[in-house]
Amino acid sequence: MTVEQRRALVTAVPGPKSLELAARKAASVANGVGTILPAYIVEAGGGIVVDADGNQLIDFGSGIAVTTVGNAAPAVVRRVTEAVQRFTHTCFMVNPYEGYVEVAEQLAELTPGDHPKKSALFNSGAEAVENAIKIARVATGRSAVVCFDHAYHGRTNLTMALTAKDMPYKHGFGPFASDIYRVPMAYPYRWPGDPDAVAEEAFAQFESLVHVQVGEDQVAAVIIEPIQGEGGFIVPPEGFLPRLAQWCRDNGAVFIADEIQSGFCRTGDWFACDHEGVVPDLITTAKGIAGGLPLAAVTGRAELMDAVHAGGLGGTYGGNPVACAAALGAIEEMRSNDLNARAREIEAIFRTRLGQLAARHPQIGDIRGRGAMMAVELVLPGTKQPDAALTGAVAKACHAKGLVVLTAGSFGNVFRFLPPLSISDELLHEGLDLIDDAFAEVLHD
Ligand code: PLZ
């Protein structure tokens, strides 16, 4: 790792060079493509990203849960460098190569369940989700798909239909794909019923809504993020996911776990489903799978994956050889550094520090998450009314102090923390100190 593991601000953030680049961006990049923290990055590694002005920022975002093994992680760089010098592309459907097969073998080994599994590789999370739905529809001969409130599954047409939030993801982009049905999420903090029976009540609503509005025998798939990402790191209570998986088994539907954000050591297990021993029929992965290179996968029961006719799955770039090399490097990093254990250590640090922060700030209504996927939900004190303005202001204050943090949530009031697992304890604590300072500054206390 060449990047010095130290926060350092030498200009305002963003500094003059970044502002110059931002002006060029404004002139040449579509406005629809936003930037959360417009400090332009030139180098990154460990827990630090370095911008064009030489500022060293602490990274609590991992490029939205992608560089879980750290930016430019050694095994990723080594394997990518070696691969890119040999060949850059052949298209696996034209001239295949070993890396693709090796990634599929690793996925079969690492994903939940010890049944025979197969995979197909794609470029982005959204593409993986689309393909999981295609596979489920062919395998079941049914078309209905059930998804959840606060879900995020992508920005393509079918995945927009599955994504819950209108602004900014869907607004004006319709009409959307049909035969998609949305049901309430088991969201403990905001569940309107009995707080001790969220899993039972949410499952009862799922069952009843599907019966009344869809028909059990019409359901091709139920798709859920085992911990919801963009929706605000919503962790369903124990028992909810196993009930859904059982319902799918009982009703001939495919249970799809979208682990694109929660997968690959992020939550302290290989996959968030592992926490309760839930075995999905299909699992979608992306982001953390390849340490920053674009790769995604659908992995699942061999008989489901093989239900699709020959030639029915593919794409020019899916499973690109350099991206596959990156995935093998990322998995090597995860195994050799026991990153699941590291994610659990990071959770312990966050829980302690966020608990202390919440004791001083009644605006923190909820602390939740698992592993290195933690969040706080901000509300008006004494209520559960979302405070998106405060969330935005604290995030902005953090950015100015040299901390990369992201927000999330249907109501824009969730502060989420996704540090790379290669970050040091020192930088974690310093980042948490900055959050503390930012709260104090914004709340004037
Ligand atoms: N499923 C669970 O989290 C991507 C989106 C960022 P792609 N989440 C980050 C943004 O604003 O576009 C995501 C996810 C889950 C699917 C996806 C989609 O993955 O690789 O962005 O297509």
Per residue in 314-372, pLDDT (tens digit) is 999 999 999 999 999 999 999 999 999 999 999 999 999 999 999 999 999 999 999 99
Instruction: Find the 407 Cα to ligand 1 centroid distance in Å.
Output: 14
Q: Looking at the DSSP assignment, which residues form a beta bridge with residue 132?
A: none
- The 3-state DSSP composition of the chain as helix, strand, coil percent (nearest 5) reads 40, 15, 40
Instruction: Find the 10 Cα to ligand 1 centroid distance in Å.
Output: 33
Mean pLDDT of 132-154: 98
Q: Which atom of ligand 1 lies closest to the CA of 294?
A: 20
Q: Which of 35, 260, 266, 293 for mutating ligand 1's site (highest number of atoms within 8 Å of CB)? A: 260
4 membership: H or E segment, kind and range: none
Q: Could you tell me the sign of the dihedral formed by the alpha carbons of 376, 380, 385, 391, in that order?
A: negative
Closest to 73 measured CA to CA, from 175, 1, 18: 1
CA 86 to chain centre: 31
Q: Which atom of ligand 1 lies closest to the CA of 259?
A: 2
**Are the C-beta atoms of 330 and 68 separated by less than 8 Å?**
yes
Instruction: Find the 16 Cα to ligand 1 centroid distance in Å.
Output: 31
d(CA 205, CA 243): 12
pTM (predicted TM-score): 0.98
At residue 444, the pLDDT reads 86
Q: Which atom of ligand 1 lies closest to the CA of 123?
A: 20
Judge: domain 16-72+338-443, CATH 1.10.10.60.
Answer: no
CATH topology of domain 74-336: Aspartate Aminotransferase; domain 2 (3.40.640)
Q: How confident is the model at residue 400 (pLDDT cuts 50, 70, 90)?
A: very high
Q: Which atom of ligand 1 lies closest to the CA of 228?
A: 2
d(CA 246, CA 228): 20
Helices and strands, counts by H and E, the chain: 13, 15
Per residue in 418-439, pLDDT (tens digit) is: 999 999 999 999 999 999 999 9
Q: How confident is the model at residue 2 (pLDDT cuts 50, 70, 90)?
A: confident
Mean pLDDT of 387-404: 98
Q: Where does ligand 1 bind, in terms of residues with CB under 6 Å? A: 64, 124-126, 129, 152-155, 225, 229-230, 258, 260-261, 286
Domain boundaries, the chain: 16-72+338-443, 74-336
